Amino acid sequence: MKPRALVLDDEPLMREFLAETLRSSGFVAEAYSDPVEALREWPRLNPDVAFLDLRLPGTTGVEVMREARSAGSRAACVLLTAFGSVETAVAALKEGAEDYLMKPCPADRIEQAALQALKVARLQRDNRRLRETVRESSRGGGMVGQDPSFRAILEQLPTLARSRATVLLTGESGTGKELVARALHDLGPRSEGPWVSINCAALPESLLESELFGHERGAFTGASSRHAGRFEQAHGGTLLLDEISEIQPGLQAKLLRALQEREFFRLGGTEPVRVDVRVVATSNRDMRAMVQRGEFRADLFYRLNVLALRLPPLRERPGDIPLLAASFLKRAGLETGHELTAISPAALEMLCAHHWPGNVRELYNCIERAAVFAKGPVLESADFALEPASPVRRDVFDLGELERDAIVAALQATGGHRERTARILGISVRTLRNKLSQYRESGLMTAQNLPPDAANFASVPAPRLPALLRPAA
């Protein structure tokens, strides 16, 4: 990805000369004459280098640099002036400018200053990343594991991070999909760009569209001003679409266009908005099965599934439990302020025997909870609110079948009315739909175990299944 440069100068000829020189030097350059406009567009461009005139209408280049940095910019700034002196140069450098140029300045001097500033900016970025890596390592927050399947994923991350192609991360809840997504951002060329995430399952369709693509003023009741959506906010960086499988069909088509064309329309807007965003998506469901049932667009799935990684559940990598437990123990000790040195062999054996349906997240929460109530530096079995794993006795109970039977009974009571069924069960319509899909995938729901008046519920082709749950009149 080309480095980015911002030029701010109120002299038209100088402004265009600077911008063209930078473009010829390999930069993507944008030029502005108005300081207010430049600061407004600064987050979108996210420049690596900024060339700022010292004297500007109503302000100075130093003030603009201060405002940009207070807003989080890490651009290396070069100040320019036609009225230079040793004192102003020293003052500019003390304020944090990387260089100071006198007008008029030749193209080769501008290029030299730009490349040197870019080098400084990249060194500072690498130092920040190194410090963050050390900090995360000291907290035990890094990805840990020696299992071959997990090591294979870690070895692929640098290669995948360098690509701009969409990545689809699948796996059960708690396996670390968001952690891997963040690693793809941090290891790639967009690491200095914004990291933006959105949980697609947490918002209704109407609100989700506005959050993804933004809206114009007056687009709907309460839209009192223009709102930049997550795609715009992530320009130049990475956008994580968490639980992408929960997006409704109507919005899937708009998302497909945004991914293919790199542009979209804000709600209520008439002008397309173009963005440069790397998308990472996650799902804890079988998306191929969803495509086969007509619940998810095939073209969108294949557009998301360019680069795919499946994160294994913790039960498939039990040898990593001691490593993860030791890492989490150190982190929990720092966060709770307790001096924790080890986990007893008996407690560790108990942890290794557990099934961990909540995966790595559950393991961390378990150790954090034990650390809070620990009576000494070594965590013992009694410190964990956990029982050793044991086979489930089907003659006693089967939670999956009990849950299914409750849903079938509610469907029968409401005649298949989806909203009333969800209300009776105390769950959302989205959760009801997901449960029914899971039952079909696992074979827990067939025509034989449905009530007589809903027997056709499972006998029709799968894509028509949601239509049989009637919406409210």
Domain boundary at 79, 107, 123, which? 123
Count of residues making up the chain: 473
Task: Tell whether 361 and 347 lie within a shared domain.
Answer: yes
Three-class DSSP category at 417: strand
CATH of the domain at 24: 3.40.50.2300
Provide the pLDDT for residue 452.
43
Domain boundary at 123, 144, 177, which? 123
Q: Which residues pair with 79 in a beta bridge?
A: 52, 100
Segment 118-148, tens digit of pLDDT: 888 887 776 666 555 444 443 334 578 888 9
| DSSP type of residue 190 | T
Q: Where are the beta strands (DSSP E) in 359-466?
A: 378-379
CATH of the domain at 374: 1.10.8.60
Question: How many domains is the chain partitioned into structurally?
Answer: 4
Provide the pLDDT for residue 299.
95
- Which has more pLDDT, 6 or 399? 6
Residues in Cβ contact with 138 at an 8 Å cutoff, skipping those fewer than 6 apart: 330, 334
pLDDT higher than threshold 80 for residue 457: no
Q: What is the mean pLDDT of residues 269-274?
A: 92
Provide the pLDDT for residue 440.
67
Asked whether residue 462 is assigned to any structural domain, the reply reads yes
Residue with tokens 């059960």: 172
Whether the CB-CB separation of 378 and 407 falls below 8 Å is answered with: no
CATH of the domain at 195: 3.40.50.300
Task: Tell whether 439 and 321 lie within a shared domain.
Answer: no
Segment 163-198, tens digit of pLDDT: 989 999 999 999 999 999 999 998 888 888 999 999
Segment 409-431, tens digit of pLDDT: 777 777 777 777 777 777 777 77
Instruction: State the DSSP H helix or E strand holding residue 289, giving kind and residue range, or none if neither.
Output: helix 287-292
Q: What is the mean pLDDT of residues 437-457?
A: 52
Provide the pLDDT for residue 132.
56
Type of residue numbered 57: P
- Which has more pLDDT, 449 or 58? 58
Q: What is the mean pLDDT of residues 69-76?
A: 85
Phi-psi region of 451 (alpha: psi -120 to 50; beta: other; left: phi over 0): beta
The first and second tokens of residue 167, run together, are 């990545």
Burial of 184 (0-12, 13-18, 19+ CB in 10 A): buried
Asked whether residue 448 is assigned to any structural domain, the reply reads yes
pLDDT higher than threshold 50 for residue 453: no
Per cent of the chain over pLDDT 70 is: 84
pTM (2 d.p.): 0.57
Type of residue numbered 175: T
Segment 190-226, tens digit of pLDDT: 888 999 999 998 888 778 999 999 999 888 888 888 8
Axis crossing angle, helix 35-45 with helix 61-70, rounded to the nearest 10 = 40
Provide the pLDDT for residue 137.
43
> How high is the mean pLDDT of the chain?
82
Segment 314-327, tens digit of pLDDT: 999 999 999 999 98
Confidence band (pLDDT; 50, 70, 90) for 461? Answer: very low
Provide the pLDDT for residue 25.
92
Asked whether residue 177 is assigned to any structural domain, the reply reads yes
The highest-confidence range among 241-245, 378-382, 411-415, 430-434, by mean pLDDT, is: 241-245
Task: Tell whether 168 and 303 lie within a shared domain.
Answer: yes
| Across 88-92, 116-120, 147-151, least confident range | 88-92
Provide the pLDDT for residue 15.
93
Asked whether residue 261 is assigned to any structural domain, the reply reads yes
Provide the pLDDT for residue 423.
73
Provide the pLDDT for residue 401.
61
Asked whether residue 137 is assigned to any structural domain, the reply reads no
Task: Tell whether 81 and 206 lie within a shared domain.
Answer: no
Task: Tell whether 255 and 370 lie within a shared domain.
Answer: no
Task: Tell whether 271 and 406 lie within a shared domain.
Answer: no
- Which has more pLDDT, 386 or 333? 333
Residues in Cβ contact with 233 at an 8 Å cutoff, skipping those fewer than 6 apart: 194, 196
Asked whether residue 211 is assigned to any structural domain, the reply reads yes
pLDDT higher than threshold 70 for residue 447: no
Domain that holds residue 418: 399-468
Asked whether residue 391 is assigned to any structural domain, the reply reads no
Asked whether residue 138 is assigned to any structural domain, the reply reads no
Task: Tell whether 166 and 75 lie within a shared domain.
Answer: no
pLDDT higher than threshold 80 for residue 91: no
Task: Tell whether 319 and 435 lie within a shared domain.
Answer: no
